[in-house]
Amino acid sequence: MLTNKEKKANDILKILEKLYPKTPIPLSHKDPYTLLVAVVLSAQCTDERVNKITPLLFKEANNPKKMVKLGVRNIEKIIRPCGLSPQKSKSIHTLSKMLDKDHGSKVPENFKDLENLPGVGHKTASVVMSQAFGYPAFPVDTHIHRLAWRWGLSTGKNVEQTEKDLKRLFPMDKWNKLHLQIIFYGREFCPARGHDLEKCIICFKHRRKNNFK
């Protein structure tokens, strides 16, 4: 017998499937490496802005060897509009050097090696594993963390616990698509500010007192 939380999760899944049957990957890329770099750039930056900068960066360097040759200063100049450019440029340059030296210029297909790269945390590794390699993963950023709490799917105080809660509630074969569906829905109907309960189907159906901040 399903719990109330499991019933809610099933209903939310049906709503998201109906609204977003297709989930194009928001960050423009051509291969695992360009996706990895784009995800690193997306930290505290909109996908829209990243997609404007990456063509400029990848025109100069679209693989680890070329990125190493491009150098930290040149990388920083190009990616400055994305914010945190000093830190991100060093991470991109160093991870490219590590990929070239330790992985034959290929992005590794496992969490351990990905998370050993500078600037690559569990969330970034999860995005690459799911979107580049099709590995079942559930990337949870602050937005999904917020929505999972708002919808009563998790009481986790951090993204790690929220990820565990969501993985328990939803079928593994839905994870890769579902995390994008949640992001799309949050942007369109369930923002952190200016939230309109009447227009938000999920919150309206499953509202909980004091959960709409």
Q: Which of 85, 104, 131 is the last residue of a domain?
A: 131
Do 40 and 126 have their domain in common? yes
Per-residue model confidence as pLDDT tens digits over 84-143: 999 999 999 999 999 999 999 999 999 999 999 999 999 999 999 999 999 999 999 988
Q: List the domain range (segments joined by +) for residue 122.
A: 32-131
Q: What own/partner pairs with CB < 8 Å and gap ≥ 24 does 192-200 have? A: 192/143, 192/146
Which one is catalytic: 8, 88, 141, 165? Answer: 141
Q: By the 8 A CB rule, do 41 and 58 touch?
A: no
Q: What is the pLDDT at residue 212?
A: 40
Which one is catalytic: 7, 47, 77, 123? Answer: 123
Q: What is the pLDDT at residue 208?
A: 52
Do 118 and 72 have their domain in common? yes
Q: By the 8 A CB rule, do 165 and 156 touch?
A: yes
**Active-site residue 5, yes or no?**
no
**Active-site residue 11, yes or no?**
no
Calpha distance 141→144 (Å, rounded): 6
CA distance readout (Å), 39 to 2, 82, 96, 148? 36, 11, 14, 22
Do 45 and 122 have their domain in common? yes
Do 19 and 44 have their domain in common? no
Q: Residues of the chain whose pLDDT is less than 50? A: 209-213
Considering all CA atoms of the chain, what is the largest pairwise distance in Å, rounded to the nearest integer?
A: 59
Only one residue has tokens 């590590």, namely: 98
Q: What is the pLDDT at residue 207?
A: 64
Domain harbouring 97, CATH code = 1.10.340.30
Collapsing DSSP to helix, strand or coil, 1 comes out as: coil
Q: What is the pLDDT at residue 211?
A: 46
Q: How many domains does the chain have?
A: 2
Q: Which of 102, 131, 160 is the last residue of a domain?
A: 131
Only one residue has tokens 């914010």, namely: 83
Q: Which of 131, 164, 183 is the last residue of a domain?
A: 131
